[in-house]
Structure 1
Amino acid sequence: MRIVAERMSENIGQGIVIENQPGAAGLIGTERVAKAAADGYTIGGFNDSIMTMLPNLYAKLPWNIVKDFEPVSLMATIEWGLVTTSDSPYRTAADLIAAAKANPGKINYGSGGNGSPQHVAMELFATTAGISLTHVPYKGATQAAVGVAAGEVSVAFQGLATVATLARSGKLRIIGVTTAQRLPQFAEVPTVAESGLPGFAFNSWATVVAPAGTSKEIIARLNAEVVKALAAPDVREKLIAQGLTPRGSNPEELRQATREQLARYATLMKQAGIKIE
Structure 2
Amino acid sequence: MPTTRRQALLLSLALATPLAALAQAWPSKQPIRLIVPLAAGSAVDNAARIVAQRMQQELGQSIVIENQPGAAGLIGAGNVAKAAPDGYTLGGFNDSIMTMVPHLQARMPWDILKDFEPVSLVATVEWGLVVPADAPQKTAADLIATAKQQPGKVNYGSGGNGSPQHIAMALFASQAGVQMQHVPYKGATQAAVGVGAKEVQAAFQGIATVTSLIKANKVRLIGVTTPRRMPQFPDVPTVSESGLPGFEFNSWFTLMAPAGTPKTIVSQLNAAVQKSLADPDVRAKLDAQGLTPRGTTPEELGTATRAQLAKYGELIKKNGITAE
Deviations 1:179-227 (A, max 9, x none): 1111111111100011111111111111000011111111111111111
- For residue 78 of structure 1, give the secondary structure of its aligned residue in structure 2: strand
Partner of 1:7: 54
The answer as to whether partners of 2:83 and 2:89 remain within 8 angstroms in 1 is: yes
| 1:161 counterpart = 2:214 | no
Alpha-carbon distance between aligned partners in 2 of 1:141 and 1:177, rounded to the nearest angstrom: 17
Q: CA deviation at 1:22?
A: 1.1
Choose the corresponding residue for 1:148, options 195, 200, 208.
195
Give the C-alpha shift of residue 77 in structure 1.
Answer: 1.1
Q: What is the match of residue 317 of structure 2?
A: 270
State the shift of 1:13 in Å: 2.3
TM-score of the pair, normalised by structure 1: 0.98
Deviation, 1:9, is 1.2
Match of 1:193 among 240, 252, 255: 240
Confirm whether residue 123 of structure 1 aligns to residue 170 of structure 2. Answer: yes
Within a 5 Å distance, the mapping from 1:67-216 to structure 2 comes to 67-216=114-263
String of CA shifts for 1:12-44, please: whole Å, max 9, x gaps: 221111001111221221111111111100000
Root-mean-square deviation (CA, aligned residues, Å) is 1.0
C-alpha contact (below 8 Å) 1:106/1:133 kept by paired residues: yes
Which residue, out of 235, 238, 241, partners 2:288?
241
Contact preservation (8 Å) 1:24, 1:113: no
Contact 2:161–2:322 at 8 Å: present in 1 too? no
Of the three residues 23, 43, 65, the one matched with 2:70 is 23
Q: SS where residue 134 of structure 2 aligns?
A: coil
Kindly state the Cα deviation for residue 272 of structure 1 after the two structures are TM-superposed.
1.3
Higher RCO, 1 vs 2 (CA within 8 Å, ≥6 residues apart): 1
Which structure 2 residue ranges, 5 or more long, are not aligned? 1-47
Answer whether contact 2:168 2:204 (CA < 8 A) is retained: yes
Instruction: Give the Å deviation of 1:102.
Output: 1.3
Aligned match of 1:35 = 82
- Deviation of 1:11 (Å): 2.4
| SS of alignment partner, residue 217 of structure 2 | coil
- Does the 8 Å contact 1:59/1:276 carry over to 2? no
Give the counterpart letter for 2:258 in structure 1: P
> Structure 2-normalised TM-score?
0.84
**Cα deviation, residue 141, structure 1:** 0.7
**More divergent stretch after superposition (8-17 vs 68-77):** 8-17
Kindly tell me the number of residue pairs found equivalent between the two proteins. Answer: 277
Report the identity percentage.
69
Partner SS for 2:210: helix
Is residue 294 of structure 2 the alignment partner of residue 225 of structure 1?
no
SS in structure 1 of the partner of residue 66 of structure 2: coil
Quick one: distance in 1 between partners of 2:132 and 2:236?
15
Deviation at 1:49, TM superposition (A): 0.9
Aligned to 2:105: 58
Which residue identity does 2:166 align to in structure 1?
H
SS of equivalent to 1:19: strand
Q: What amino acid sits opposite 2:223 in the alignment?
A: G
Deviation at 1:275, TM superposition (A): 2.8
Query: Counterpart of 2:14?
Result: none
Larger radius of gyration: 2
